[in-house]
Each structure stands twice: as C-alpha cells, then as structure tokens.
C-alpha cells in the first residue's frame, strides 16, 4: 500500500480539533499548524467556528479540498464513521490516536479494529494507529504528532528515522534534543499500516542515514525481511532494540501491541542474517543510532581502531573494553611507531592503544601530529580518542582534545574519529554540536560507548553478498498437531537433497535380517524403525557394535521386546539395519519452524552434548555456504572442528554443504515441516566427508503419536 500521503501529506485535516490543553485534539492541531503545509491545514469541529486563530469546518465534506491526511483526534466510538467518510471522500490517509482497540484484547475492541483494517484495505487507505502517538517528518517539516513536544523542525538536525511500537519511547527520543531525527513514527497497534511498511519507506529514503527500530513484535516477517534486505544492500544501518526477550517481557509486549512475540533467539538470528544491529538498552539504542547518523556513511575501512589516550587508567580501560566488545586495536606499523615517538615523552610507549601521557598536552600540534600518524597507518580504520566531555567545557584537557581533533580534520584527517570517555556525565551541548557537525561522534561513555563501537565493527564486517537476504516464512500458520516420520522415512524424505548416510535397510523378520546382514560390513547397528518411538535409546531400541549374524538375531529380538514393553501401541515398520559409521566429531544439524521467521537452521555440538552445553548457532533458512560456515565459527566448539592441540581439522566444507542441503529442504517444505533433527552427524577429517547417523523429520498435522 502506498503511504507517501501519510508520511508527506500536502494537506491535513484535524478532526476533533479543540483548544482544551493536553488533549490530542489540541496538541495535534498545534503540531499540524507548525508544518510546512500550514496553509492547507483544516481544523474540523461541528461546534466551533474558530480555533487557534483558524477557521473551523463543521465536517470533512465542507473542506475546500480532499485532504491527503485526516488526523482523527476523537474518542474511540466515533472513529470508524469518520474513517469511513474520509475514505469514501477519497482522502489519502489517516492517523488515529485513540486506544481501546485490539491492544485491550476485548471482543468489542478487536471488532472495531478489524473493521478499521477492512476500510484500509477496501479503499487502499493507509491508517497509522490506533493507539499511537502519531508521526513526525523532520525532512519535509510535517508534524502529525499527538503529544506535546518542543521539537523544532526548523533547527533540528536529521539523520535517524525512528520507527517505534511505543509512543512513549518515540516521545522520549524526539525530546532528546541532541538526537538527530529525520522521522519519528509511533506505529501503535499497526494492523492497518504495519511497522514493516514504515520501515521499508525510510530505508528507501536516501535522506535517512540510519534507521532506529523499537520492536515488540512483527505482523509480517517477510515484509520485515524485505526491508532489512534493502537496507543491507544499500549499506544503511538498521539499529533494533527488541523488547520482550524475557518471558515476562514477551507477555508485556503481547498485551501492549497485540503482537505475538516470537522466539528471542529467532529474532536475534534474523537480525544477524540481515546485518541489522541489535542493542540491549535505550542507552545503546541512542548512542549507536546517533553515532551512525553523525558518521553519515564515513565508515571504517578497515574495521579497526587506534586508541589514543592521555592517561594510563584511560588507556587500560580502552584496552579492556575494546577486547570485551570486539573492537580491534591492531599493532601500529613500524613507521607509525617511529612517527608517534617524535611527539610523545621518551618514557611513553608508542603502542596501540596509546598512553600519550598528560605531557602530550604541552602542544596542541603534537596531539594533531599523533592523530595524523595513527590515521596514516593502513591497518587503522578509525581513531578512538579518550575524552571525558563534561556538562560545561571551558578549558583543560577536554577542550584541548576537541580543538586538536578539529584541527586534525581541518588538516586533512579523513578517517572517522570518535570521542569516548571513561565516565558518564551530561555533555556540553555546544561542544557536541561543533564536533558532530565535523563528523565526530560524541558517544556515550565507558561500557555503552565501546558497545556502540563494537556494533559498528559488526556492521562493517557484515558482507551482504554472503547472505541469502531471504526468509522462508510459511505462507500460512502451520496446521495444528504433528506427525513424526520414522528414521528410515526421514532419511528417505531427504534423500533427494544428498543426505550422506551409512548403508542401511529396514527388515521385517529374522530371515530378511540374515539376508541383509550377509551383504553388509560389520559392525552393524540395529534400531527400531517407528514413527511413534522418537527416543529410541530410552526405549531400548538401539543395539550398537554387532559383529556377527548371530548377534544381530539376538539384538533383533531384544529390541522388539523392549520397545513393546516401552510403547505397546507403537507402530513398528521393522528394524533398521545400518553399517556402523566410524566415530568422529559429533555435530547436530536441526531445523525448527518459527512462527514468525519460518525454518531456522541450527548447528551445535552433537550427541548428548547439545543439551549439556547448549552451544548452538541459529540462522533463518535458506542459508548460503558462507552463512553455514559463519554459523559453525560462532560455536565455542568450532575449535574442535578447526583442529585443536594437534588434532586434524574436520571436513568443515562437507559439513557446510550438508547444512545448505538441509536448509534448502527446510525452505522448500516450510509449509509443512515442523522440526528436523540430524543427531549425530559424524564429521570426519578434512576431505573425508560427513555421515548422518540418525535423522528425525516431524511434519505439522494430525495423525502421529507424541
């Protein structure tokens, strides 16, 4: 649905305009009249002739033109007739502030919002809200904001597009006077026009340098993925604060916006797949988003830093926090060290990070020269300067640092410089204005500041060409219930995808067993083949290390007897006879079908260890080979695969190929696959491949037994 008339209306009608302070009708009227289109703002109230010095119209039908946007600032029960009239007249869009709709989970509220969505679809009529704070467009000077704010569209710097599922969060961000805002959208319940629609719009707007999303839940994961994919291809940062990660938080998110919060791990995996930047607090959200907006695309090349400090304590904190948050501080080149040594005291060491000592303050020119020396090192992509900028900077070290950084930029320093202090305090806003205008982010201090630098490093290291930038979300919710396939059925199901399995046959009696065993290489494994016995070991349904036909016959009888006792009503296809694969590193490859994002590929240390150590990596399907290898590298157990303490490296290439094949299967069967386990997968030495020892496919539907 086209939403330009909602984002950038050329004419606005405020229905329910009033002069009663602290009401939506009053605030929305005053905000609309601040807009660049104030001469085409029409106030509507059937009981007034004049408000706020403006002529008032009795009804939408009386307006001199059909408005691009109708702002509805009236009580809930009056909303639908106004929207229906506006849509019939041909209005371009609407904003609804009122609450009491689907977010309250009542039959009446749900019905009202359902009708609102119908009107929106029937007339291609985008509606922001209900239960929202409105929209602020600082790029075109349009305010459809319903809450009181001193936001000045004539002076406020742009850069960040805020898309938030919380009016309160959005309100606090626009009232953070140094935060560079291009747009602020409070999406409310977001059923008629979704957060995903606004996200796509601001990603496509080249005036926006960074998108900041406060997210509680999604309506359409595929649309969300399309927007993130577009941002990744444009190298436009998207910073996401996802709330509802805890069990109580998820419930709060659902009750607040009517969204069903998905798995926290699935959300994080999806963000990572598309190179989106996930943060954990409002402080990180603001610091990271503002940092990107100040950089305006002047990113690190390479994603490394020089840390410059003027005290030993600051320098040690720089080193510690850099290592903790993945901020790379490579050693200086020999020629860089030689150059820096010209400007620091003889007792100081020209290393990265650099403690230049307070003696460096003796000459501003020396600080500039050190900055230029570090910037000239090809191994350095950006410079961190330790600077505690307080509320009022009149002189001393902070002023010297600021002056030196600005002088270095004036002299030609083009690599980004970041001012990061060790202690948190209010910042001198004039200093902030000056340095940020020069492209120098003044980040939050300490932990939060270095977290932002780590997020920048992650963003710079993300290669959109290595990701599929696609989701395989189901076309509709999966059917209720589940149907498990037996091991042999599971392997047969995936055979077309090249599943590498040991030689195996299902036998139904001892005569077949003897015939099959005579053609196989011992040792053998015998396993119950039943869709109703998923945990075969628990049922006594597995016998390992069988070295003769006689042992096989005994094992056959023991397995049937044990499983009969364990699950008397279980359906049994027979006994799976399999050549016993040589032992190797055990890995689990699995899939779970997330309600939001579709099949999620899982990799981790296999066998029983997956439950003990919970060392797993997730990625939405489909995955590329590069993504598969990246998943493996994210495991703590990756050292075992790469070769550890003299052990040979494992066949990571073959394992990654298997992961891609499983991902392709899951993506193509997204509308029926519920879960899949290949556990264990034996990974042999490099060049010797992998073997899938056990497999379980579970499909959605009724008919199986739990």
For 545-561, how does the pLDDT look when each residue is reduced to its tens digit (9 = 90+)? 999 999 999 999 999 99
Distance of CA 479 to the CA centre of its chain: 27
At 392, the pLDDT band (50, 70, 90 cuts) reads confident
Residue 582 DSSP code: P
Q: Is the pLDDT of residue 330 over 60?
A: yes
DSSP classification of residue 238: E
pLDDT-derived band at 422 (thresholds 50, 70, 90) equals: confident
* Residues 346-370: tens digit of each pLDDT: 999 999 999 999 888 778 999 999 9
Question: What is the 3 state secondary structure string of 284-335?
Answer: HHHHHHHHHHHHCCCCCCCCCEEEEECCHHHHHHHHHHHHHCCCCCCCCCHH
Could you give all domains of the chain from N- to C-terminal order, each with its CATH number?
1-131 (3.40.50.720), 156-297 (3.40.50.261), 298-466 (3.40.50.261), 503-579 (3.30.1490.20), 585-700 (3.30.470.20)
> Order of strands across the sheet with 69-72?
50-51, 54-57, 41-44, 12-15, 69-72, 94-96, 127-128
pLDDT at 246: 63
The whole-angstrom separation of Cα 210 and Cα 200 is 13
Least confident range of 135-149, 248-262, 529-543: 248-262
Could you give the angle at which helices 396-410 and 429-437 cross, rounded to 10 degrees? 20
Q: Residue 261: its pLDDT value, please?
A: 37
Average pLDDT, the chain: 94
Q: In sequence order, what are the beta bridge partners of 235?
A: none
pTM for this model (two decimals): 0.93
CA distance 390 to 427: 5
Tens-digit pLDDT profile for residues 2-20: 999 999 999 999 999 999 9
Token pair for 219: 């309506």
pLDDT tens-digit map of 638-653: 998 999 887 899 999 9
What's the full length of the chain, in residues?
Answer: 706
| Beta-strand runs (E) in 74-119 | 94-96
Averaged pLDDT for residues 632-639: 92
What band does 247 get if pLDDT is binned at 50, 70 and 90?
Answer: low
In angstroms, the CA 102 to CA 342 distance is 68
- 425 pLDDT above the threshold of 80: no
User: pLDDT band at 670, cuts 50/70/90?
Assistant: very high
* pLDDT the model gives residue 362: 78
Using CB atoms within 10 Å of the CB of residue 550, give its burial: 0 to 12 exposed, 13 to 18 middle, 19+ buried. exposed
Q: What is the pLDDT of residue 212?
A: 98
CB of 124 within 8 A of CB of 1? yes
Instruction: Report residue 426's pLDDT band, with 50, 70 and 90 as the boundaries.
Output: confident
Region 213-218 average pLDDT: 96
**Is it the case that residue 257 has pLDDT exceeding 60?**
no
pLDDT at site 377:
98
pLDDT at 701: 87
256 pLDDT more than 70: no
Where is pLDDT greater, at 399 or 256?
A: 399
> Of the ranges 116-120, 534-538, 701-705, which one carries the lowest mean pLDDT score?
701-705
pLDDT of residue 259: 41
CB 162 within 8 A of CB 183: yes
Tell me how far CA of residue 105 lies from CA of 100, 102, 130, 193, 256, in angstroms.
9, 5, 14, 19, 10
**pLDDT above 90 coverage of the chain, percent:** 88
Percent of the chain clearing pLDDT 70 (strictly above): 96
Where residue 62 falls among pLDDT bands split at 50, 70, 90? Answer: very high
Asked which of 30-39, 324-333, 604-613 is least confident by mean pLDDT, the reply is 604-613
Specify the pLDDT at position 361: 79
């Amino acid at each position: 649905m086209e939403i330009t008339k909602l984002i950038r209306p050329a004419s606005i009608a405020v229905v329910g305009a009033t002069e009663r302070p602290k009401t939506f009708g009053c605030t929305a009227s005053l905000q609309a009249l601040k807009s660049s289109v104030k001469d085409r703002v029409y106030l509507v109230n059937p009981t007034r002739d004049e408000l706020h010095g403006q002529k008032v119209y009795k009804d939408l039908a009386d307006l001199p033109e059909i408005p691009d946007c109708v702002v509805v600032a009236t009580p809930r029960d009056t909303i639908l007739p106004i929207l229906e009239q506006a849509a019939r007249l041909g209005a371009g869009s609407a904003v609804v502030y009122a609450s009491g709709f689907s977010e309250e989970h009542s039959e009446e509220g749900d019905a009202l919002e359902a009708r609102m969505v119908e009107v929106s679809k029937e007339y291609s009529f985008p509606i922001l809200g209900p239960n929202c704070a409105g929209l602020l467009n600082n790029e075109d000077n349009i305010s459809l904001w319903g809450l009181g704010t001193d936001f000045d569209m004539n002076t406020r710097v742009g850069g960040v597009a805020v898309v938030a599922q919380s009016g309160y969060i959005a309100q606090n961000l626009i009232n953070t006077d140094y935060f560079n805002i291009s747009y602020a959208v409070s999406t409310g319940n977001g059923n008629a026009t979704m957060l995903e629609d606004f996200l796509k719009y601001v990603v496509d707007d080249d005036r926006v340098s960074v998108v900041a999303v406060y997210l509680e839940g999604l309506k359409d994961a595929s649309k969300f993925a399309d927007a993130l994919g577009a941002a990744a291809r444009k190298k436009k940062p998207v910073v996401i604060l996802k709330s509802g990660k805890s069990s109580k938080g998820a419930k709060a998110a659902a009750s607040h916006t009517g969204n069903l919060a998905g798995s926290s791990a699935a959300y994080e995996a999806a963000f990572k797949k598309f190179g989106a930047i996930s943060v954990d607090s409002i402080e990180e959200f603001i610091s990271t988003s503002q940092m990107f907006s100040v950089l305006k695309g002047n990113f690190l090349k390479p994603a490394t830093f020089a840390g410059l400090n003027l005290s030993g304590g600051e320098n040690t904190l720089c080193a510690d926090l850099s290592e903790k948050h993945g901020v790379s501080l490579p050693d200086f080149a020999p020629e860089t060290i030689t150059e820096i040594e010209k400007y620091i005291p003889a007792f100081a060491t020209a290393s990265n990070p650099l403690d230049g000592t307070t003696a460096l303050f003796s000459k501003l020119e020396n600080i500039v020269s050190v900055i230029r020396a570090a910037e000239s090192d090809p191994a350095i992509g950006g410079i961190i300067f330790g600077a505690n900028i307080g509320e009022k900077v009149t002189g001393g070290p902070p002023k010297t640092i600021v002056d030196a950084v600005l002088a270095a930029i004036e002299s030609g320093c083009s690599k980004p410089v970041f001012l990061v202090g060790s202690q948190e305090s209010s910042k001198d806003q004039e200093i902030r204005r000056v340095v940020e205008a020069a492209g120098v982010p003044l980040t939050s201090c300490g932990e939060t500041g270095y977290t932002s630098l780590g997020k920048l490093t992650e963003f710079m290291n993300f290669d959109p060409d290595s990701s599929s930038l696609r989701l395989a979300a189901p076309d509709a919710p999966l059917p209720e219930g589940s149907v498990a396939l037996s091991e042999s059925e599971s392997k047969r199901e995936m055979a077309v995808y090249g599943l590498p399995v040991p030689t195996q046959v299902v036998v139904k009696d001892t005569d077949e067993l003897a015939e099959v065993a005579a053609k196989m290489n011992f040792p053998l494994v015998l396993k119950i083949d039943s869709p109703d016995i998923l945990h075969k070991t628990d049922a006594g349904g597995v016998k390992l290390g069988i070295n003769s036909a006689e042992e096989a016959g005994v094992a056959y009888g023991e397995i049937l007897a044990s499983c009969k006792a364990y699950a008397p009503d279980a359906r049994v296809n027979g006994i799976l006879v399999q050549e016993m694969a040589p032992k190797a590193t055990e890995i689990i490859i699995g899939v779970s079908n997330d309600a939001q994002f579709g099949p999620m590929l899982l990799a981790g240390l296999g066998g029983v260890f997956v439950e003990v150590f919970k060392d797993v990596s997730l990625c939405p399907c489909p995955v590329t080979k590069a993504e598969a290898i990246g998943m493996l590298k994210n495991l703590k157990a990756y050292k075992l695969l790469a070769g550890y303490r003299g052990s040979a490296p494992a066949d990571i290439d073959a394992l990654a190929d298997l992961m891609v094949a499983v991902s392709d299967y899951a993506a193509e069967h997204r509308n029926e696959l519920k879960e899949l386990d290949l556990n264990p997968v034996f990974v042999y030495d490099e060049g010797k491949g992998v073997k899938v020892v056990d497999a379980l496919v579970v499909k959605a539907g009724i008919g199986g037994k739990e």
